[in-house]
Chain A
Amino acid sequence: MKRVEDPRLLKGNATYVDDLQLAGVVHAEFVRSPHANANIRSINTDAAKKLPGVIGVFTGADINEKAGTIPCASPLPGGKSPVHTVLAGARVYFVGHPVAVVVAKTRAICRDALELIEVDYEALPAVIDPEKALENDSPFAHPELGTNVAFTWSLAGGDLDAAFKEADQVLKLRILHHRLTPMSIEPRGCAASWHSGESSLTLWTSTQIPHLLRTLLPGMIGIPENKLRVVAPEVGGGFGSKLNLYSEEAVVSHLAMRLNRPIKWIEGRRENAAATIHGRDQIGDHEIAVKKDGSVLAIRAKIIADIGSYLQLLTPAIPTLTGLMIGGCYKLKAVKVDVTGVHTNKMSVDAYRGAGRPEATYIIERLMDYVADELGLDPIEVRLKNMPAASEFPFTTITGLQYDSGNYQAALQKAQELAQWPRLLKERDNARAEGRLFGIGVSTYVEICALGPSKIMAAGGWEWGCVRIEISGKVTVITGTTPHGQGQETSFAQIAADRLGIPIEDIVVLRGDTATAHFGRDTYGSRATALGGTAIAMSIDKIIEKTKTLAAALLNSTPGEIEFADGKFFVRGNEENEIGWGQLASEAYVAKNLPPGFEPGLEASSFFEPPNCTFPFGTHIVAVEVDRETGQVKVLKYTAVDDCGKQVNPLLIEGQVQGGIAQSLGAVLMERTVYDENGQLLTGEFMDYAIPRALDIPEYALGSTETPSPSNLLGVKGVGEAGTIGATPAIGNAVIDALSPLGIHHVDLPLTPERIWRAIQEKGGAL
């Protein structure tokens, strides 16, 4: 099934934010801090204001009291974090911190004006290393807090002491999850237009969350919710980085109202690297209690999360997801996780594809290999030994999560078959016999998706959908999710076409506009199809039920006698005499022959409140070769079997898996966000921050198993992050396996040639 959204994207007539043509639009650009931590002594905007074409220059003093503060939707009890004004006040806290904004007739004039603004900074020592930040003599990232600890959070399940006592061995492993930059190819950007006659505002923004913005922004900029329309037009990639309310959105909205002019701001790549959220950045010390036979009893983890300067929308939630999923797909007797969120003078960390789960999976899957390595056991056997059987689902973890459905062994077995496991082992033996560094890595992962029940979400975890059979019989589907590349204009049309029994060509899916999608909780956490798709299916079922009454009246029967199949309504046993949607829709809206009490129209909407999250799983098997001389890793063969529940569109699923794997391949082998000791961002653009290119990508052998989720009527689990979650440990484990003949048992990510080369040298070199 080819995507219905593709023609406009392929022909160049899709509309991303920067493609909007707004009459009279003016532009905004931001002055940003070159320092990680500094007092602002003064800002001189006089020369900039005099530049022809400049409409205004605004600093924090001009704006902050009127544009609200940036919200965090997931603060933890007892946490201490600074007030997050939209522009810096008396102090800047990270490189890229917005200090002032210029509004001018053209982007070029804006940039000229930026050059004329003088900011006098008093540079202060920056807090960069999150562990040093916890020492008594550390300076503070935010002095007014009197601490660098933003929050602490703990999770415990089972009898930890008993489990550690029972252990034959306790292994320790410290794991660093380095900081990553999401780098969607379209940077962020927004445009706002004030409609003074109606006193209403439209904000177009490159976001994953127009509905959450409509919930959060009105209170900040001082307009009622029902006077704000938020539109996510075509969005050029997000990966979590556009799951936020950013300063620029509030500033542009406020200034559009204040100046009564449409204003557009488009983020540059350097701004994107510095001032759009980063991902990961955790340090974990882990202890794992094991029996000699490879039974894993318990895990104790102390995690330090470097969250950067401010809490963005979901910042505290990310390391808690790591804690929740740290047990992976194994039966443990006890788990204890202690997380400390630390403020540093860097950009904030928030949800980046996988959001806490790649960290969890990397921890548990590295540990499983480490256990096998230390105990001299087969890593696959260790995994199998500790997995719940298919018959044990729903499986409740020791920390209380209920894994909805699963058959982890089946996915592992299928992946082994696809990877031609015995042959792969032989290849490794042969390579090693020749002195080559050949490694095989496995990861068996489980993740948490379709977030989620409202009880665990800050602002509702339901999803909304609406279906309308138009008077012509064409169908309009409206979703509260906000696809930005996932292809749900196609997969939701497929769901509707199947359920309504009409051709997909007759269906249009609308999304990303709060004026048409009245409700929504948007797209993140691999939730859109499981939740949004279900809301659509529920709406269709309501329409079918209602239409049976109308069909009964037209067929001189009773609703109980009416059957529906393949888009036709008929009296049971009399399939010849059928009525289709076209005729029924016409009757429903023209409304001359309606049965008593039948409300005109054929439209239904639904809020789907899921009873539980979903838990996709799978196995990834990777073969790599490491060049002894250079440390360069070559991925030779990549096999993945992913189970995302029922599949709506296998081609789209394959695309999600491949894209996710590629992002992890980048994270494991090349990507790393680097701040120097002064807090200068050294990876400020694509010249310094390497993301994978076509040449870096291996050929794949991809497969799937299909274990339906009991948590929604479609049986769907979600697949947006699976690749990223499964791939990180699989590739990492493969590289370590390749290096193991040299006596190397762990190297921290990213496994760049330099790191590997150094690890090899430490073990006596390449000879």
Chain B
Amino acid sequence: MNISVKIRVNGVLYEAEVEPRLLLAYFLRETCGLTGTHVGCETSVCGACTVLVDGQAVKSCTMFAVQADGAEVTTVEGLTSNGEMHPVQEGFWECHGLQCGYCTPGMMLTAVQLLERNGSPSRDEIRHALDGNLCRCTGYTHIIDAVEYAAKKGAA
């Protein structure tokens, strides 16, 4: 009862026959082999699995792969272009915005969406935007610094 899907991930088209119950997160991790997208809760609370689907930040643990048929997906692996880090990645590196790194891919993709909508957010706006992504290591302050840094670098 598999279903055929075509999903473009980081510019590369993946065609696969998938079980209808396959979550997008596992499609990315197992079918595409892109293990930068992490799963932390499977209830769409923690946000570790956040990716961009047609430009929208989506928690890929609560979306089926079949729902993403025909979509363009960006994962953490797609943030770097020609070996250059995205300003958000740079910001996280400069400001020590990560410790264990597990929440970081999802956190960064949420930040990318924020900066596309609002190129110079206040610290409170950054806090609001990141409210759906949990981090247990950093206490968030350096993450907020990182997003501010990226905004100043012109992430949008």
Indicate if the CB atoms of A10 and B134 lie closer than 8 Å.
no
Indicate if the CB atoms of A185 and B93 lie closer than 8 Å.
no
Of residues 75 through 134 on chain B, the ones whose CB sits less than 8 Å from some CB of chain A are 75-77, 79-80, 85, 89, 92-94, 96, 98-105, 108, 123, 126-128, 130-131, 133-134
Which of A48-56, A65-73, A566-574, A650-658 is the contact stretch? A650-658
Q: Could you say which residues of chain A place their CB within 8 Å of the CB of B48?
A: 185-186
Indicate if the CB atoms of A663 and B136 lie closer than 8 Å.
yes
Q: For residue A486, which residue of chain B has the nearest CB?
A: B99
Indicate if the CB atoms of B127 and A652 lie closer than 8 Å.
no
B139 within 8 Å of A (CB atoms) = yes
Indicate if the CB atoms of B41 and A686 lie closer than 8 Å.
yes
- Name A697's contact: one of B99, B133, B141 (CB within 8 Å): B141
A715 within 8 Å of B (CB atoms) = no
Q: How far is the CA of A184 from the CA of B41 in the complex (A)?
A: 11
Indicate if the CB atoms of A695 and B127 lie closer than 8 Å.
yes
Indicate if the CB atoms of B102 and A236 lie closer than 8 Å.
yes
Q: Could you say which residues of chain A place their CB within 8 Å of the CB of B140?
A: 658, 662, 692-694, 697
| Residues A694 and B130 in contact in the complex (CB < 8 Å), given A10-B89, A268-B42 | yes
Q: Could you say which residues of chain B place their CB within 8 Å of the CB of A694?
A: 126-128, 130-131, 133, 140, 143-144
Indicate if the CB atoms of A18 and B42 lie closer than 8 Å.
no
Q: How far is the CA of A658 from the CA of B34 in the complex (A)?
A: 31
Say what secondary structure dominates the interface of chain A. Answer: loop
Q: Could you say which residues of chain B place their CB within 8 Å of the CB of A182?
A: 136
Q: Mark B13-51, 1 if CB is under 8 A from A, else 0.
A: 000000101000000010001111111111101101000
Q: How far is the CA of A487 from the CA of B133 in the complex (A)?
A: 22
Which of A1-9, A195-203, A337-345, A588-596 is the contact stretch? A1-9
Q: Could you say which residues of chain B place their CB within 8 Å of the CB of A659?
A: 99, 136-139
Q: How far is the CA of A694 from the CA of B110 in the complex (A)?
A: 13
Indicate if the CB atoms of B41 and A3 lie closer than 8 Å.
no
| Residues A655 and B138 in contact in the complex (CB < 8 Å), given A10-B92, A10-B98, A12-B36 | yes
Q: Could you say which residues of chain B place their CB within 8 Å of the CB of A211?
A: none
Q: Could you say which residues of chain B place their CB within 8 Å of the CB of A663?
A: 136, 139
| Residues A485 and B143 in contact in the complex (CB < 8 Å), given A185-B48, A236-B101, A269-B43 | no
Q: How far is the CA of A168 from the CA of B48 in the complex (A)?
A: 56
A234 within 8 Å of B (CB atoms) = yes
Q: How far is the CA of A695 from the CA of B35 in the complex (A)?
A: 29
A108 within 8 Å of B (CB atoms) = yes
Q: Could you say which residues of chain B place their CB within 8 Å of the CB of A484?
A: 100
Of residues 44 through 67 on chain B, the ones whose CB sits less than 8 Å from some CB of chain A are 45-46, 48
B7 within 8 Å of A (CB atoms) = no
Of residues 153 through 208 on chain A, the ones whose CB sits less than 8 Å from some CB of chain B are 182-187
Q: Could you say which residues of chain B place their CB within 8 Å of the CB of A651?
A: 96
Q: Could you say which residues of chain A place their CB within 8 Å of the CB of B8?
A: none
Q: Could you say which residues of chain B place their CB within 8 Å of the CB of A235?
A: 100
How far apart are A637's CB and chain B's nearest CB, in angstroms?
14
A237 within 8 Å of B (CB atoms) = yes
Q: Could you say which residues of chain A place their CB within 8 Å of the CB of B94?
A: 2
Indicate if the CB atoms of A6 and B92 lie closer than 8 Å.
yes
* Residue total for A at the interface (Cβ-Cβ under 8 A): 56
- Name B43's contact: one of A661, A686, A692 (CB within 8 Å): A686
Indicate if the CB atoms of B93 and A10 lie closer than 8 Å.
yes
Q: How far is the CA of A184 from the CA of B126 in the complex (A)?
A: 23
B135 within 8 Å of A (CB atoms) = yes
| Residues A186 and B40 in contact in the complex (CB < 8 Å), given A659-B99, A694-B143 | yes
Q: Could you say which residues of chain A place their CB within 8 Å of the CB of B141?
A: 658, 697, 699-700
A670 within 8 Å of B (CB atoms) = no
- Name B99's contact: one of A7, A487, A693 (CB within 8 Å): A487
**Tier of interface size on chain B:** 35 or more
A88 within 8 Å of B (CB atoms) = no
Q: For residue B83, which residue of chain A has the nearest CB?
A: A11
Indicate if the CB atoms of B41 and A685 lie closer than 8 Å.
yes
How far apart are A111's CB and chain B's nearest CB, in angstroms?
10
Q: How far is the CA of A438 from the CA of B30 in the complex (A)?
A: 52
How far apart are A91's CB and chain B's nearest CB, in angstroms?
30
| Residues A186 and B96 in contact in the complex (CB < 8 Å), given A13-B77, A234-B101, A658-B141 | no
Indicate if the CB atoms of B104 and A9 lie closer than 8 Å.
yes
Q: For residue B108, which residue of chain A has the nearest CB?
A: A10
A239 within 8 Å of B (CB atoms) = yes
Indicate if the CB atoms of A9 and B101 lie closer than 8 Å.
yes
How far apart are B113's CB and chain A's nearest CB, in angstroms?
15
Of residues 229 through 248 on chain A, the ones whose CB sits less than 8 Å from some CB of chain B are 234-237, 239
B6 within 8 Å of A (CB atoms) = no
Indicate if the CB atoms of B101 and A485 lie closer than 8 Å.
yes
Q: Could you say which residues of chain A place their CB within 8 Å of the CB of B76?
A: 10-12
How far apart are B82's CB and chain A's nearest CB, in angstroms?
13
| Residues A16 and B38 in contact in the complex (CB < 8 Å), given A185-B135, A697-B141 | yes
Q: How far is the CA of A485 from the CA of B136 in the complex (A)?
A: 11
Q: Could you say which residues of chain B place their CB within 8 Å of the CB of A18?
A: 29, 35, 39
Q: Could you say which residues of chain B place their CB within 8 Å of the CB of A137?
A: none
- Name A10's contact: one of B35, B43, B85 (CB within 8 Å): B85
A767 within 8 Å of B (CB atoms) = no
| Residues A658 and B142 in contact in the complex (CB < 8 Å), given A14-B101, A237-B136 | yes
Q: How far is the CA of A146 from the CA of B43 in the complex (A)?
A: 41
Q: How far is the CA of A652 from the CA of B80 in the complex (A)?
A: 25
Indicate if the CB atoms of B77 and A239 lie closer than 8 Å.
no
Q: Could you say which residues of chain A place their CB within 8 Å of the CB of B33?
A: 21
Q: Could you say which residues of chain B place their CB within 8 Å of the CB of A723?
A: 139
Q: Could you say which residues of chain A place their CB within 8 Å of the CB of B80?
A: 11
Q: Could you say which residues of chain B place their CB within 8 Å of the CB of A660?
A: 139
- Name B45's contact: one of A19, A662, A687 (CB within 8 Å): A687
A691 within 8 Å of B (CB atoms) = yes
Q: How far is the CA of A700 from the CA of B140 in the complex (A)?
A: 11
How far apart are B45's CB and chain A's nearest CB, in angstroms?
4
Identify 18 residue pairs between A and B in the complex whose beta-carbon atoms are under 8 Å apart, listed by A's number: A6-B101, A7-B93, A12-B36, A18-B29, A19-B35, A185-B38, A185-B135, A234-B100, A239-B136, A269-B40, A485-B137, A651-B96, A655-B96, A658-B140, A658-B142, A659-B137, A686-B46, A697-B140
Closest CB pairs A-B (n = 4): A12-B36, A236-B102, A662-B139, A9-B101
Q: Which residues of A contact B (CB under 8 A)?
A: 2-3, 5-7, 9-16, 18-19, 21, 108, 182-187, 234-237, 239, 268-269, 484-487, 651-652, 654-655, 658-663, 685-687, 691-695, 697, 699-700, 723
Q: Which residues of B contact A (CB under 8 A)?
A: 19, 21, 29, 33-43, 45-46, 48, 75-77, 79-80, 85, 89, 92-94, 96, 98-105, 108, 123, 126-128, 130-131, 133-144
With A185-B48, A660-B139 known, 8 other A-B pairs at CB within 8 A are A9-B104, A18-B39, A186-B48, A235-B100, A236-B38, A236-B100, A237-B137, A239-B136
